[in-house]
Amino acid sequence: MNLSFYQDENTWLHRLDPRTKTIGVAIVFAICLCFNHPLYTAGIMLAVLLTALSARVLPLFRRMRFILALLILFSSILWPFFAKGPTILWQWSVLTVSRESLLFGIAMGIRLATFVMAGVILLGTTKNEEITNGLIKMGLPYPVAFALSTALRLVPTFAGAGATIVQAQISRGLDLESKNIFSRFGKLIPLAVPMFITAIRYTNLLAMALESRGFSPDGLRTLYCEPKMKRQDWIILFSLSAILAIFLYLRLALSIGVVMPGRM
Amino acid sequence: MNNSVSINSLSFTYHGHEKPALKNICGEIPEGAFIGLIGNGEAGKSTLCCAMNGLVPRFFRGNYSGSLTVGGKDPSKCKVAEMSKTVGLVLQDFEAQLFSTNVELETAFGPENLGLSRVEIGQRITRHLAFVGLEGMRHRDSSTLSGGQKQRLAICSVLAMESPVLVMDEPTTDLDPKGREQILSISRRLKAHNRTLIIADNDPENLIKADRLWLMREGELIACNSPREILTNKSLLDACGVMALPTIALFHAMGWQGNPLTVEDAIELIQKHNLVPRRRQISPRGQKDTRSNNPVLETRGLSYCYPSAKSNSLQDVNISINDGEFLAILGQNGSGKTTLAKHFNGLLKPRSGEMLVNGRPTTTYRHHELARTVGYVFQNPDHQIFAPTVYEEVSFGLRMLGEDHHSIERHVAHALSVTGLEGYENRSPFLLAKGDRQRVVVASVLAVKPKVIILDEPTTGLDYRHQRDAMDLLKELNRQGHTIIVITHAMWIAETYCRRTVVMKDGRIIADGDTRAVFADAARLSEAALCPSPLARLSNWLGTESLTVEDMVRELAL
């Protein structure tokens, strides 16, 4: 089963410098924070979706559709109880739901999902080594850059091990189909313990393999695929910064795209 | 000639262990030699391999004494990264060694660490990928490669560092026969490059071409001689728990002159001395009709496709398995063996077609109901062991199924006694050896008394003695009435233990029938990148029915 994020294609996003993509994602995160009106955040999400379409990473979104749906759903259900707005729709003892808080909840859900999507686009179009090399080029020390990118790379590996562990325990009679959420909680131990053991063994082996192949945190190292900033990279970074600046102006000076003033 | 490795009374005890892993090892390895380390699981082969590049004692701490020099350096005093310029080490588990996005970058990782120029790295990648036969896969994601290809990539990534000494720890375990042959061919060709090669293995067949064999037992170097001298000394091998070559075992048992290391030698000797006449060639019989009225497991036109895959992993599979069968499923990595087996206990549900257990589709069962009928032992025991004691581990399934206290006690006691784990009740399963952990897992599946037990690679990572123990246990369970299904890469296991063999390729069954008949059809097997074990090849040539040395001695004596 192939669980890694990277989609081996050759689109304009794949060809961009990893630094551009890393900084670009950071700017997109900031853009997401500009508005808290669901229509505006939905617009941003649509733009991210179109980018994903052109980078041919939509299959990754399909794979993560449950997580994305859950983020939007939970946020829309839970936020209204915590954020307070003036137009009360429903009230029961201390619990109130207002029109503003409902919209805010939806906006927050879309924002979270957009965060995840932007991150997934980065991982889906950038090889792990490119991310490492990009981070090094941005001045991060090699061990830190390597640790960061290895952590990202291990997520799918451990997800795969986790799936195997669930299957192994189901085969032994572990009943994960029962509806009772409390009894389910106690059933986590047979899954969590082997997960830890597997992770520890795996990282231990990985450390051995790395050292055996001459990995040394302080050593001078050639970057086989050295990232190079091209014209497109500068254009993208400039446009994204410009969009961020405009959005900040809209929000801060003109208060556009806001349902809950005073909240991010 | 210079010595590339010299060892002087080297001893090592792992931190927290009492028994030394290496005891007083002395030896010299000349430059350009091919040394085979042979011995059973506790012989200390891996420890010696790790000592060569300094993982012992710098990564694995412990009590280290004596001296070791590799290429003029002392591994215990250098950093492992520094030693990697002199010694390349290929670890046993190839999965964890591959961490890069694609084949090219995997190979580049070592040379990058050496600080070579980008042009030089590119040239090395091209050269070494061609050497191991992966030149067409340069941009492939390494997780999509087959087991044999992954192992070749792991070797290639170490070769690319061009260190004068190369150490490989059991490079051919977990590989199908074709993958194994490719690794052996790499090691033979490396000899021509004047690299010092050290290979640890517990199967003597893989080390026939070595210049010298080092036979190890419990951390000691017992003998050091040419393969012919060591491999023909059957009593010495037995004492060290190493499988004797079947050809030699046969010649000894029959009282024939000569010590053939290979099937070709054996055939030549038999012809030369006219030892035994060839019999009528057994014709590979047609597909056996295994349909019965009342099969335990039956598939009808079963097809399956993984959610993110483009093509079907199983394609129109029709098989029916009767109560009490002992069945092997063979095939390359990715041929669909495990996918099929996961249908048997309902972990996967067919995309089209039907999967019937006791005549009822698996879609109508709940998972834990199926666990009562079909037990599944996963390949890696670490994927399921979680309890603080063996007793709790083995009783887990029964507790999940809501059995009462008394019946749990009775069933666990039975499962432990069958698997030879009596007295282990209060031990921690995590601290047991790999072979014993495997037993715990088998016991935990056995405790719920399933009619059918499926085992995915039950002998992986075990040495010859423990493989035999594990398979003898399954044979006993089969005798007691359990249906046993084994997924395996080891041909001799199918030949020795299984009455029926199923061969899969690209999600289809390409052969299904009596084991002897399946192994008589070498052409069909090679389609699936398999090939009969040496003894089966000899038996095919002789035209005999037997697939084990004991049977063959009996048959030839008739």
Omega of the bond leading into B57 within 30 degrees of 0 (cis): yes
Contact B113 A214 (CB under 8 A): yes
Nearest Cα to Cα of residue B139 among B116, B107, B117, B115 = B107
Domain parsing of chain A, residue ranges? 1-127+228-264, 141-224
Contact A212 B53 (CB under 8 A): yes
Mean pLDDT of chain B: 89
Amino acid type, B442: V
Distance CA A173, CA B366 (A): 10
pLDDT at A55: 92
What average pLDDT does the segment B365-385 reach? 88
pLDDT at B286: 47
Q: Please tell me if residue A161 touches chain B, with a CB cutoff of 8 Å.
A: yes
The number of C-beta contacts closer than 8 angstroms across A and B is 181
Best of A212, A221, A225, A228 to substitute, by most chain B Cβ atoms within 10 angstroms, is A212
What average pLDDT does the segment B116-140 reach? 92
Residues 239-298 of B with CB under 8 A from A: none
Burial class, B363, CB count within 10 angstroms (exposed 0-12 / middle 13-18 / buried 19+): exposed
Residues 6+ apart with CB under 8 A from A195: A158, A161, A162, A165
What average pLDDT does the segment B218-238 reach? 92
Q: What 8-state DSSP symbol labels residue B435?
A: H
User: Which of B91, B113, B380 lies nearest to residue A209, judging by beta carbons?
Assistant: B91
b (16+ CB within 10 A) / e for B315-339:
bebebbbbebbbbbbbbbbbbbbbb
Q: Please tell me if residue A9 touches chain B, with a CB cutoff of 8 Å.
A: no
Q: Please tell me if residue A208 touches chain B, with a CB cutoff of 8 Å.
A: yes
Tokens of B57: 């004692």
Summarize pLDDT for B33-51 with one digit per residue, the tens: 999 999 988 889 999 999 9
Nearest Cα to Cα of residue B539 among B519, B510, B525 = B519
Contact A174 B400 (CB under 8 A): yes
Nearest Cα to Cα of residue B488 among B465, B518, B467 = B467
Summarize pLDDT for A107-163 with one digit per residue, the tens: 999 999 999 999 999 999 999 889 989 998 898 888 898 888 888 888 888 888 899
pLDDT at B176: 83
Q: Please tell me if residue A159 touches chain B, with a CB cutoff of 8 Å.
A: no
Chain B residues close to A147, C-beta within 8 Å: none
Spell out the alpha helix ranges (H) of B447-506: 464-479, 491-497
Check if the beta carbon of residue B524 is closer than 8 Å to that of residue B539.
no
b (16+ CB within 10 A) / e for B118-157:
eeebeebbeebbebbebeebeebbbbbbbbbbbbbbbbbb
What average pLDDT does the segment A5-34 reach? 92
Tokens of A98: 């207002």
Highest mean pLDDT among A42-46, A151-155, B422-426: A42-46
pLDDT at A88: 78
Domains B3-243 and B297-527 share a fold: yes
Place of tokens 């590996």: A157
pLDDT at A2: 52
ipTM, two decimals? 0.85
Summarize pLDDT for B65-95 with one digit per residue, the tens: 999 999 999 999 998 999 999 999 998 888 7
Distance CA A142, CA B149 (A): 30
pLDDT at B291: 47
Mean pLDDT of chain A: 87
Q: What pLDDT band is residue B451 in, cutting at 50, 70 and 90?
A: very high
Query: Is B3-243 in CATH node 3.40.190.290?
Result: no
Summarize pLDDT for A78-91 with one digit per residue, the tens: 888 777 777 777 77
Summarize pLDDT for A156-187 with one digit per residue, the tens: 888 888 999 999 988 888 877 666 656 666 77
Amino acid type, B50: C
Q: Please tell me if residue A58 touches chain B, with a CB cutoff of 8 Å.
A: no
Q: Which percentage of chain B shows pLDDT scores above 70?
A: 97
What average pLDDT does the segment B224-252 reach? 91
Summarize pLDDT for A17-26 with one digit per residue, the tens: 999 999 999 9
Q: Please tell me if residue B445 touches chain A, with a CB cutoff of 8 Å.
A: yes
pLDDT at B284: 52
The pairing of strands B452-456 and B374-377 is: parallel
Distance from B292 to chain A by nearest Cα, in Å?
Answer: 27
- Closest residue in A to B91 (Cα) is A209
Distance from B301 to chain A by nearest Cα, in Å?
Answer: 23
What average pLDDT does the segment A48-68 reach? 91
Chain A residues close to B345, C-beta within 8 Å: 171
pTM: 0.86
User: Which of A168, A192, A215 lies nearest to residue B378, judging by beta carbons?
Assistant: A168
User: Which of A2, A202, A221 lies nearest to residue B144, judging by beta carbons?
Assistant: A2
* DSSP structure string for B128-158: HHHHTT-GGGTTSBGGGS-HHHHHHHHHHHH
Check if the beta carbon of residue B299 is closer than 8 Å to that of residue B329.
no
Three-state DSSP class for residue B452: strand
Chain A residues close to B307, C-beta within 8 Å: 63
Q: What pLDDT band is residue B484 in, cutting at 50, 70 and 90?
A: very high
Distance from A68 to chain B by nearest Cα, in Å?
Answer: 18
Q: Which percentage of chain B shows pLDDT scores above 90?
A: 60
The domain covering B297-527 belongs, at the CATH homologous superfamily level, to P-loop containing nucleotide triphosphate hydrolases (3.40.50.300)
Distance CA A69, CA B306 (A): 22
Nearest Cα to Cα of residue B299 among B365, B335, B343, B348 = B343
Distance CA B476, CA B419 (A): 10
pLDDT at B380: 87
Domain parsing of chain B, residue ranges? 3-243, 245-277+533-558, 297-527
pLDDT at A31: 94
Check if the beta carbon of residue B5 is closer than 8 Å to that of residue B31.
no
What average pLDDT does the segment B20-36 reach? 94
